[in-house]
């Protein structure tokens, strides 16, 4: 029982540290490319990868707190992006056991589709409330970079932390 508690604390601490690292990379002022592409939402990719490839992904409270803090750091309207990301990660959590039998492309499509839906709803609400919304180029580059980065995050978590569909941490 104590060992499970320690594993839970260690896993959540690791996810928190990675979320902080990804956020720090995102808010760096320097870019390596001439066109200002949006930095991908690596925290969403990381959470979805851990939810789909481990038996116990990040808790609901951890997703809530992490995205609330990210909204404050990025200066977004409080609560909207958190609610959308919470719904998206919970749909991923609900579909996870059924996706285990399918190919990775189905998993990737689900994660990308949910992110696209959340991003479009976010922009729609911003437009309806006369808030400053992202440009079409920024929305599309944010969606494309996040979609492309998901398989990279899955591969890195599989290599670095030995989690994946073939590991013993998969659904029991």
Domain positions in the chain are 2-161
Give the separation between CA 59 and CA 64, rounded to whole angstroms: 9
pTM for the whole structure: 0.83
Which DSSP category does 130 fall into?
Answer: T
> Quick check: 44 and 85 in contact, CB under 8 A?
yes
What integer pLDDT is reported at residue 34 of this predicted model?
53
Tens digit of pLDDT for each residue in 134-149? 888 889 999 999 999 9
Banded model confidence at residue 172, pLDDT cuts 50, 70, 90: very low
H/E/C letters for each residue in 86-116?
HHHHHHHHHHHHHHCCCCHHHHHHHHHHHHH
Tens digit of pLDDT for each residue in 10-38? 777 777 788 888 777 776 666 555 556 67
Please name the residue that has the structure tokens 């479009």: 120
| Residue 36: partners with Cβ closer than 8 Å, 6 or more residues away | none
Tens digit of pLDDT for each residue in 85-124? 999 999 999 988 888 778 899 999 999 999 999 999 999 9
Give the separation between CA 144 and CA 127, rounded to whole angstroms: 21
Give the separation between CA 99 and CA 75, rounded to whole angstroms: 35
CATH of 2-161, one of 3.30.70, 1.10.1760, 1.20.1280, 1.10.10: 1.10.1760
User: Which of 124, 116, 62, 121 lies closest to 93 in space, CA to CA?
Assistant: 62
Banded model confidence at residue 59, pLDDT cuts 50, 70, 90: confident
> Quick check: 48 and 89 in contact, CB under 8 A?
yes
Give the separation between CA 70 and CA 19, rounded to whole angstroms: 9
């Amino acid at each position: 029982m104590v060992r499970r508690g320690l594993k839970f604390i260690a896993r959540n601490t690791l996810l928190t540290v990675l979320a902080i690292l990804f956020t720090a990379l995102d808010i760096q002022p320097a870019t390596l490319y001439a066109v200002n592409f949006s930095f991908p939402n690596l925290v969403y990719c990381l959470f979805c990868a851990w939810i789909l490839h481990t038996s116990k992904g990040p808790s609901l409270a951890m997703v809530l707190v992490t995205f609330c803090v990210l909204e404050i750091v990025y200066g977004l309207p409080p609560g909207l992006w958190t609610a959308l990301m919470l719904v998206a990660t919970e749909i991923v959590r609900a579909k996870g056991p059924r996706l285990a039998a399918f190919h990775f492309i189905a998993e990737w499509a689900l994660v990308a589709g949910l992110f696209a839906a959340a991003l479009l709803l976010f922009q729609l609400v911003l437009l309806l409330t006369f808030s400053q919304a992202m440009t079409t180029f920024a929305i599309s580059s944010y969606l494309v970079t996040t979609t492309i980065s998901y398989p990279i995050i899955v591969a890195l978590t599989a290599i670095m932390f030995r989690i994946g569909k073939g590991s013993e941490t998969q659904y029991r």
